[in-house]
Structure 1
Amino acid sequence: MKKIYSIFLLFALFVGCKEEEKVKIGSSDSHVAPVLIETPTADTVSILKEEDADNVFTTVTWTAADFGVSTEIIYSLVATAEGFDGESVINTVTGSSTSSTVTVKEMNTALINITKYVNEAQVDTLNISITVTAYMSNETVVDANATSQASSFRALPYYTPQLPSNKIWVRGNHQGWSENDDTTILGSTEDSGGPYTGYMYLDGGFKVCELPTWSGKNYGAKVEPTPWETDGNGQKVEISTSDAGGGDSKNLATEEAGMYFMNTDLSTSLYVEKLVFKIEGSAVSAPVTMEWDPKERVLFANVDFLEGTYTFKANDDHNLGMGSQAGLASNGGEPISVTAGNKVIVLDLKVPGNLSYFYAGAVSSTPPVLTAPTTTTLVLEKDNADNDVETLNWSAAEYGDETLESYVVMLGSQTLATLTNGETSYTAKVKDLNIAALAEGGTPGTAADYEVVIKAMFTNENEISSEAVVMNLTPYEAFQPKVWLVGSATPAGWTHNDEVVLNLTGANDGTYNNAFWMNAEEFKVTSQGDWNGTNYGYASDGNLSTDGGAGNIPVASANHYIVEVNTENLTYSLTPLEWGIIGSATAGGWDSQTNATTFDATAMTWTWSGVTLTGSAESSPEFKFRANDNWSYNFGSTDTEGALVHDGGNIPVTSDGTYDIVMSYDAETRTFSYTITKQ
Structure 2
Amino acid sequence: MKKYINKLLLLGSLLILGSSCDSGAELTTLKSVSFPSEITVSSSTLVLTEDTADDPVLLISWPSVSFPIEAPVTYAVQFDLIGDTSGSTAWQKAKRIEVGTDVLSKSLTGQELNKIAVDLGLPIDIPGKLVVRVEAAMDRKIYSNPITLTITPYEKSVVFGEIYMPGSYQGWAVETAAALTAIQKGVYQGYMTVAEGAGPGFKLNTERNWAQFYGAGATNNDLKNMSDTDFVLPGAGSYQIKVNLNTLKWSQAPYAWGIIGTATSGGWDKSTPMSYDHQTKTWKVTADLAAGALKFRLNDAWTINYGPADPGTNTINLDNGGAYTIGEAGTYEVTFTINEVDPATTGYPATATCTIVKK
Shorter chain as denominator, the TM-score bin is 0.3 to 0.5
Bigger CA radius of gyration: 1
Higher fraction of helix: 2
Higher fraction of strand: 1
Bigger relative contact order (CA 8 A; separation at least 6): 2
Q: Normalized against structure 2, the TM-score is what?
A: 0.45
Q: Normalized against structure 1, the TM-score is what?
A: 0.28
